[in-house]
Structure 1
C-alpha cells in the first residue's frame, strides 16, 4: 500500500540523502510504499533539538514536535566495504523522518491512522 505525503502541509523531512541534521520542507507530493518499510516509529520530541535548513541556518525544533520515522528494508541500503580504513561491511538502511510541528497535529494524526490501519495486531 502507498501513502501520500502531501506538499505544503507543514511537514518537514530528514533522510539519508541530506547532510546530517538537515530538514527540508515537503514541497511536492510523493508516495511511500509501505511494503518497502521495515520499521516505523512514532514519537514526540520532549527535549531541545537543533537542526539546519538547506541554507545552513540553525533552528530549534519546538517541543512536542511529532515524528514519524520510517526505516526502509535492506533492499534500500548502502554498503561500505571499509570503515575508517578497516575491512568490514557497514549497512546503512535508508530512512525518512517526517516532522510535524505542534500546531500541525491533525496532519500527523491523519497519516499515523492511515499507517496503523495496515497493522495487524492479533
Structure 2
C-alpha cells in the first residue's frame, strides 16, 4: 500500500539524506510504500525543539508536535565499512520522520489511521 504525502500541507520531514539538525517542509508530493517499512512509531514531542531549514533558519517545533517515524527495511539500507580494526560492514537503514505541528493534526490522524489499518493487535 502506498501513502501519498501531499505538498504544502504543513508537514515537515527529516530523513537520512540530511543532517539530524535539519528539517524540510514537504514541497512536492511523494509516495511512501508501506510494504517497505520495517518499523513505524508514533509519538509527540515533550518539549519544544529547534531545528533548521536548509538555509540555516531556525524552525520551532512546539511541545505536542506529533511525529511519525518510519524505519525502512534492510533492503533499503546503506552499507559502509566500519572504520574499526575488524572492518565490519554496517547497514544503516533509511528512515523518514514526519512532523505535524499541534495545529495541523488532521493529516497526522489520517496517516496514523492508514498505517494502523495494516496492523494486527494481539
**Could you tell me which residue of structure 1 aligns to residue 46 of structure 2?**
46
Structure 1 outlier segments of 4+, above 4 Å: none
- Which runs of structure 2 are paired with 1:78-89 in the superposition (5 Å)? 78-83=78-83, 87-89=87-89
1:16 is aligned to 2:16: yes
TM norm structure 1: 0.93
Partner SS for 2:82: strand
CA distance in structure 2 between the aligned counterparts of 1:46 and 1:36, rounded to whole angstroms:
29
Q: How many equivalent residue pairs?
A: 122
**Could you tell me which residue of structure 2 aligns to residue 99 of structure 1?**
99
- TM-aligned CA deviation for residue 20 of structure 1: 2.1
**Could you tell me which residue of structure 2 aligns to residue 28 of structure 1?**
28
**Could you tell me which residue of structure 2 aligns to residue 68 of structure 1?**
68
CA distance in structure 1 between the aligned counterparts of 2:86 and 2:98, rounded to whole angstroms:
34
Partner SS for 2:18: coil
For structure 1, the residue ranges without an aligned partner over 5 or more in a row are: none
CA distance in structure 2 between the aligned counterparts of 1:82 and 1:110, rounded to whole angstroms:
40
RMSD: 1.4
- TM-aligned CA deviation for residue 85 of structure 1: 6.9
CA distance in structure 1 between the aligned counterparts of 2:16 and 2:89, rounded to whole angstroms:
18
**Could you tell me which residue of structure 1 aligns to residue 111 of structure 2?**
111
Equivalent pair of 1:12/1:25 in contact (CA under 8 Å): yes
CA distance in structure 1 between the aligned counterparts of 2:88 and 2:77, rounded to whole angstroms:
16
